[in-house]
Structures are given as C-alpha cells and as structure tokens.
Amino acid sequence: MSSVYKRINVLLFLCGLTLGLMIAWLGQPVFQWGVQSLFRKQFYELTASCDAAMRTHLIAKNRLDLEPSETAVRAVRSAELGLLACQDYDLLRKRLIRIGLDENALSELTLSFAEARASDLQLVVETHEFRY
Amino acid sequence: MNFGIDRLAAAVTIVLLAAPNTSATETLRERMLRSYALDFGLVPAEETWRDVDPVLAAIGKELFESTLLSSNVDTACASCHLDRFGSADGLPVAIGVEGRSFGAERVRLGGDPQPRNTLPLWGRGGKGFDTLFWDGRVEKLQSGEIQSQYGAAAPDDDPLTVAAHLPPLQLGEMVFDRDSRFAQYEQESTSAAAAYADTIVSRLRERSDLIAQLATRSEQAETDIDYTDVAAALASFIARNFRLGTSRFHAFVFHAAPLTSEELRGGVLFYGKGQCALCHSGPYFSDLDFHTIAFPQFGFGANGFGVDYGRYNVTQNPDDLFAFRTPPLINVTRTAPYSHSGSVAKLRDAIVYHFDPLAFFSNDGSTADDREQLARRIGLWARDYPVAATLSEREIDDLVAFLGTLETESLEKVADPQ
C-alpha cells in the first residue's frame, strides 16, 4: 500500500513540476501580451504625439532660419515645449520595462503601430530598408 | 481567505508598479507653464486696467441697460450682453431690433438676426486692447490714429468709445430699419449717423435724467452733451465692469496657487504641442491679429448668402479674406456657441476645428460654392499651420479643463433690460 502511495506522490510531483514548467514557459509571453494590450492605446498615442512634436519642431526651426520674426521665435519655443510629448513617450517606455516588458515586446508595439498607421507598404518599407 | 489576500497583494503590487512616478516631471511642467505664460505675455490682471471714472461708469451702466438707445425702444446693450451667457447672448448670431426675451426663446420669438456672433466684453477697454469687433473695424494703430468707419473723423481717440458708437447706430442691430421715421438715416454716411445720434441724445434727455447726470459730471450744459459723451460713459462702464479679474490661472502663475493635474497638462498643451498660444497670447489670450480657422459659416453672413469675408471687409486686401480677429479666451467656457457666426456649439468641437477642419464635414446638402469656400478657408489655415497639432480626446479634455481656469467675474451684475 505504501509503495502505491509513493508512486502516486512521485506522479503528483512530476505533474506539478510539468505544470509549473508550462506556466513558467507560457506565463512570460502571456504576461507580456497582457501588458502590451493594457498599454497599447497609450503607447500608440504617445508615439504619434512625439513623432508630430519632432516634425513640428523641425519645421518651426526651418521657418525661423528662413523668415526670422517674433512669431517664428514663439513657434520654436512652443515646439520645444511640445517635445515634452517625447519625454512622456520615454517615461512610458521606462515604466513598461520596469513592469517587465522586454525590448522585443516594446519593438513589437512600435512595429505594430507603424503597421496600423501605414496606408500602404511605404511606411513598412521605410522602417525596414537599408539606408546608405 | 489566504487566496483572497494573495490576490489582493498581487493586485496592489501591479498597481504600484504600473503607477507613474510623476512627482519630478510635474514640478518641471509647473515651472515651464509659469515661465511660458510670462514669455507669451501674461501679466497680473490689474496691470491691464486703465483709470476709469467710477461715477461716469455708473451712468454708463444705466445707459447700458436702457432700451432708450434703440430706435424703437426695445433693445439695449444688455439685451445681447448678458451675465448668464458670460456677457454674450448664448446664440449663434445676435438678434437685434424686435428681439424679445433671452437665449433660445429670443430666436423663437423673432427679431432681426445679425450676421455675426455676439462678442463677450471681457478686457475691452483694458491696456493694449485696441482692436475691436470680429473684423477689427475699430482699431487704434501704432501711430495712435483710430481706424474706423468714421475715416479721418473718428469721434474720439479711445477705440472703445468709438466702438460704443456703432451698435446703437447700426441698422437692424439697434436701429429699426422698417420704421419710416428713420428712413432718412438709412444711408451709409457719417452725417446720417450723426443726425441719428442726435435723436438718441434728445430722447435720452426727454425720457430720462441720464443726460442731466452726464452734464453734471462733466460740468457742461445739458445742451452741450452729445452722443460721444454717451458712448464715453458706455465705454467707461464696459472697461470697469468687464476688466480682467484674477483667474485661477493668474493665481497659479503669480501666486503659486495649484492647478489640477488635468489643468496642468492642458496648460502645457496650450503653450506647447497645441500651438494655441501662437495666436491666443498676451494678457487677453489673443494676439488681436487676424487668422483663418476653417469654421463652418452659419446664417446669411456679412457678405450675404452664407458668405463672410471677415477682415477683408475692412481692408479690401485679398490676403485678409476669411480672416477674423483671434478671439480672447477669458471666460471662454461660458460664451458658447463659438466662431464668428456661432456655428460651433461646443468648446471641444471648436478646439477640434483648429487642427482637423474636416472632422465634422458632411457633404449632404452642401453646394459647390460651399465646398469651394471651405477649401479656400482650409488652404489659408494650412498656410499658417504647416503641421497641425492633432490632439487626442484626452488632450482635448485637458485643454478644456485648462481653459476653465481662465474664468473671472464682472464687478457688478448687469440687470436685464426693461
């Protein structure tokens, strides 16, 4: 009788071990997916926001170079404050890393945003092409 | 039970991990917002005040509330500048003579619709507030000269006093244009306006003691009081009663009062990414200059048949087509609807039109002319804003919250006109 119990105990131990390994193996991607889903909308918004802020800043500086004026100076100042959107974007990335998202998962979010915004293949090509 | 505690502990851990640590950046943003507000021209409210004679302003208040200033004694300044609507009238376009009651009831009961949205009065008469009306038809130039429809014969050197001449002398607005007694004045000339102004003063003299009060105050004979004295009293009242008060944003910038995190985010958007302060700058949150935003046109329009050329009507310069003076934002949360023709009911939507003019566009019922004008307005808007700052729903909420910090109160309540 005791040998039967021993066998059952070993079997239960092995089952538990297998289950634990499966959870450990599956849990990490599921966790990453869950965090991605939770923060996807905010990540997309801040990515777009930072992208627009950088373009606005560049164009405002162009205008100041070409047509210096008080309005052009104010536009650059305004665009500089607008770059806080990129600070927010970076802070979110750091928060996500702190929570447990790895660089691969963050890159996946960025790529999926590029694909969501691309009306054709052009943006995907620009993301992946070699540039010299 | 242990399982429940475990889950609770796990949830708390996740929330703590996910919670943003914003204490340092909040401080940076507060500092930046204060610094940008100053750089973009905000000053303490009292620095915008001019010296105003309180006795003259008190007489001006009675004139402001009196229907004796309109030709058929049914319309006062206070008919369209009401406390309950933030010193405007809550309507898309003003209802002039024959108008009765207030708000939507005023539209239902009829009256003479005007081409443009009633402007609120906050800050008018304050230092530097020298461009008046949607199209800047009264403007004090840098040379000190007053530009108005009076040409070289401006009746006063104070732009608000000149502006106070206009509504009571405007056909349809306070002059009943279907009354044969006033037909002789129905012409576009300063002599006709002057003659009609004399009839207003005569009526005031006969039916009230206001002219006598003005005479006493200015130590003149009653017969020497003319319409410019009446307009000066109106201007004194407006300048005193609607001068800027210390709003919550003023208190934040000048007295280190707090803003909510939503208001703070909105303020940073206002001066930063949103590019709002490029035009909505200075102590009145307006550069008092002229710009085109592709708002839809409501009503007949100043140029007729749904067209309003805005500033062009004053300058006849094609570069000024569809441009309007940047509206000041003091109490903007109380002065719906928005745009020169009041075609936008909600502040949120008015914000959206600044960066996404096609957001509410519907082709249903629009004509080729409508679309041509819209395309033209969008073209002019795009010239000013090469990269529009597209805002999310949350960012629009934040901006609206920030604009709520610009609320201020008048000195005295205005009575409904009798």
pLDDT at B59 over 80: yes
- Extents of the domains making up chain B: 28-49+245-405, 54-242
Kindly state the tokens that stand for B257. 């009062």
Mean pLDDT score across all residues of chain B: 88
Average pLDDT score, chain A: 85
Tell me the C-alpha distance between B397 and B187, whole Å.
48
> Comparing B28-49+245-405 with B54-242, is the CATH topology the same?
yes
pLDDT value of residue B47: 98
Give the pLDDT of residue B377: 92
User: pLDDT tens, B132-169?
Assistant: 999 999 999 999 999 998 888 888 999 999 999 888 77
> Average pLDDT for residues B61-90, to the nearest whole number?
91
Over 60: is that where the pLDDT of A28 sits? yes
User: Does residue B326 contact residue B289 with C-beta atoms inside 8 Å?
Assistant: yes
In the prediction, which pLDDT does A22 show? 85
Of B29, B272, B281, the CB nearest to A82: B272
Judged by average pLDDT, the poorest of B20-34, B303-317, B336-350 is B20-34
What's the rounded Cα separation, in Å, for the pair A122 and B375?
28
For B139, the enclosing helix (H) or strand (E) is strand B138-140
Residue B369 clears pLDDT 50, i.e. is over it: yes
User: What are the φ and ψ backbone dihedral angles of B226, each rounded to 5 degrees?
Assistant: -125, -175
Task: For chain A, give the percent of residues with pLDDT over 90.
Answer: 36
Give me the residue label for tokens 């062009």: B312
B301-325: average pLDDT: 92
Q: Which ipTM was obtained for this model?
A: 0.74
A74 pLDDT exceeds 60? yes
DSSP track, A95-112: HHHHHT--HHHHHHHHHH
With H, G, I as helix, E, B as strand and everything else as coil, classify residue B102: coil
* pLDDT over 50 (residue B1): no
Query: Can you give the pLDDT at residue B163?
Result: 94
Is residue B343 over pLDDT 70? yes
Check if B387 contacts A (Cβ < 8 Å): yes
Confidence class for position B272, pLDDT limits 50, 70, 90? very high
Tell me what the mean pLDDT of segment A77-95 comes to. 93
Q: Is A83 exposed, middle or buried (0-12, 13-18, 19+ CB in 10 A)?
A: middle
| Residue range B328-339, pLDDT digits in tens | 999 999 999 999
Under a CB-based contact definition with an 8 Å cutoff, are residues A117 and A123 in contact? yes
Paired residues of B138 in beta bridges: B132
Report the C-alpha gap between A79 and B274 in whole angstroms.
9
Contact yes or no for B235/B158 (Cβ under 8 A): yes
Verify whether the Cβ–Cβ distance A81 to B273 is below 8 Å: yes
Whether residue A1 has pLDDT greater than 90: no
Q: Is domain B54-242 given the CATH code 3.10.20.30 in the classification?
A: no
Q: In the prediction, which pLDDT does B196 show?
A: 80
The string of DSSP codes covering B313-361 is HHH--GGGTTBEEPPP-TTGGGS-SBSTT--B--HHHHHHHHH-TTTT-
**Is pLDDT of B309 > 90?**
yes
Considering the entire predicted model, what is its pTM?
0.83
Query: From CA A7, how far away is CA B166, in angstroms rounded?
Result: 102
Q: Which of B309, B313, B311, B319 is nearest to B384 (CA)?
A: B319
Give the tens place of pLDDT for each residue, B3-40.
Answer: 466 666 666 666 555 555 544 555 889 999 999 999 99
Partner A contacted by B393 (CB < 8 A): no
Give the pLDDT score at B276.
95
- Taking the CA of residue A96 and the nearest CA in chain B, the distance in Å comes to 8
Give residues with Cβ within 8 angstroms of B243, minimum separation 6.
B45, B48, B49, B123, B125, B126, B411
Q: Does residue B239 contact residue B126 with C-beta atoms inside 8 Å?
A: yes
Q: Does B39 touch chain A (CB under 8 A)?
A: yes
Distances from the Cα of B311 to the Cα of B89, B151, B269, B315, angstroms: 23, 16, 29, 6
| Contacts B32 to A, Cβ<8 Å | 81, 84
- For residue B402, the one-letter residue type is F
Nearest CA-CA distance, residue B260 and chain A, Å: 18
Q: Does CATH number 3.40.50.1220 belong to domain B28-49+245-405?
A: no
3-class state of residue A92 by DSSP: helix
C-beta separation of B96 from B103 below 8 A:
no
Decide if B204 contacts B83 (C-beta within 8 A): no
Structure confidence by residue, pLDDT tens digits, B243-255: 999 999 999 999 9
